[in-house]
Structure 1
């Protein structure tokens, strides 16, 4: 079973603090949501990219502080689900999403990679796989950069959901 992280942009005035409402945002198939005109943009990160958090924080994904770089992947205010066995949903306000977008726009991926590479490479095949591993993380970085830039341009909030598939 794989773990996925889904990020959804939500118009700030429409955002609800209801776990049931937030869960419904993720009820449809990700591919379907992505391609429907007029829908909020969505980004889906696969299992290995949950380690993307290490690129931004330099530490394992766990309880990031309130800094833009710590909010990129797993940061946000937790909203506990109706099923308490499920991981909480995470919410970034429009202002927080804007700060994350600014951080990503101003950040040099190569500098981030240099500070995180020693902790990541052993998990992804070591030094012989560095080029491929770095490229995969750089691609996800670019996808996140585009997602947050688009989200900030529309003044949207972000809701995040970790799920098993």
Structure 2
């Protein structure tokens, strides 16, 4: 089973507070989304998205205050799916996106890595994997930083959803 956590930027004027609208946002292909909302930016994290959350929030239980750190991956106001078996959509307002973007721009990856290193390496059970694993998390951090920075620059909101 493949799981992906999708983050899509949406101009506030195009945003609808409707589970059906959110569902369509994630079902449509990129071109359709771009046509409907005027542009398209998306970030996709694979099934290890929870590990990326650890990078930003510390080792569980979540040690970060409820602020930009906690909103990078899994944060946002839940909007429940019409099918209760499906996970909720998560919505970050444009102002929350700006806070996340500022946090990420100011975050030092080396500091984040040092804080979460042992927890993030545990599943790999081999220290010789550290360079590769660290590189993957560093690349994800750069991608998320770029995604949130551009989204904040446009003044857009972010809708998130776990696709299975």
TM-score, length-scaled by structure 1: 0.90
Gaps of at least 5 residues in structure 2 are none
Give distance in 1, aligned partners of 2:53 and 2:25. Answer: 23
* Structure 2 equivalent of residue 107 of structure 1: 107
Describe the SS at the equivalent of 2:78: strand
* Structure 1 equivalent of residue 149 of structure 2: 149
**How do 1:82-161 residues align onto structure 2 when only pairs under 5 Å count?**
82-161=82-161
Describe the SS at the equivalent of 2:13: helix
Q: Once the 2 structures are TM-superposed, how far is the Cα of residue 90 of structure 1 from its aligned partner?
A: 0.3
**How do 1:20-99 residues align onto structure 2 when only pairs under 5 Å count?**
20-29=20-29, 32-33=30-31, 38-60=38-60, 66-99=66-99
Quickly say closer, same or farther: Cα 1:124–1:36, change in 2 above 3 A. farther
- After superposition, what is the alpha-carbon deviation per residue over 1:99-144, rounded to whole angstroms, capped at 9, x for unaligned? 0000000000010000001111011343121100000000000000
Q: Once the 2 structures are TM-superposed, how far is the Cα of residue 60 of structure 1 from its aligned partner?
A: 4.1
**Contact 1:52–1:73, Cα closer than 8 Å, also in 2:** yes
Give distance in 1, aligned partners of 2:65 and 2:159. Answer: 17
**Contact 1:9–1:159, Cα closer than 8 Å, also in 2:** yes
Kindly tell me the number of residue pairs found equivalent between the two proteins: 161
Quickly say closer, same or farther: Cα 1:117–1:105, change in 2 above 3 A. same
**Contact 1:94–1:158, Cα closer than 8 Å, also in 2:** yes
- Structure 1 vs Structure 2 CA RMSD: 2.1
Give distance in 2, aligned partners of 1:65 and 1:14. Answer: 31
- After superposition, what is the alpha-carbon deviation per residue over 1:8-65, rounded to whole angstroms, capped at 9, x for unaligned? 0000122111111111110124xx4599685220111111233100000013488x86
